[in-house]
Amino acid sequence: MEVAFGVLFVTTGRLTAGRGGRGDALLRRVPVLGFVAALAISYVVMPVLERLRQHPESDPGRVLFGRYHALSTMFFAIAFVCALFVLAGTAIAEKGARDQK
């Protein structure tokens, strides 16, 4: 997922290069947020979830598993919203570039 947001960062950077605007600046920054969320999922949350998954159901550590699972779901939602925003913003920017020609 990190690679995908890296590619989105490069492509949106090329798409918005030379243009100034609040929407273009936001479109360049959103992939960075998605990249950070993907890194948090991969390197912070998932290793802990894998260790906690090994605990039996009756173990109090399962409460912690539920919390980390909610945290993981939140980071996935952030990454998903960032991807949708970049998709919509890129489509709008492309349409605007075609209309100017």
- Alpha carbon distances (Å) from 75 to 46, 69, 80, 87, 94: 11, 10, 9, 18, 28
pLDDT given for residue 41 in this prediction: 93
Please determine, for residue 53, whether its predicted confidence score (pLDDT) is greater than 90. no
What pLDDT digit, counting tens, does each position of 8-34 carry?
A: 888 877 777 766 666 777 888 888 899
Ranges of each domain in the chain: 2-100
Q: According to the model, what pLDDT value does residue 8 have?
A: 83
Report field, pTM of the whole predicted structure over 0.85: no
What confidence score (pLDDT) does residue 24 get? 75
How far apart, in whole angstroms, are the C-alpha atoms of residue 78 and residue 34? 7
Give the rounded percent of residues in the chain with a pLDDT score beyond 70: 89
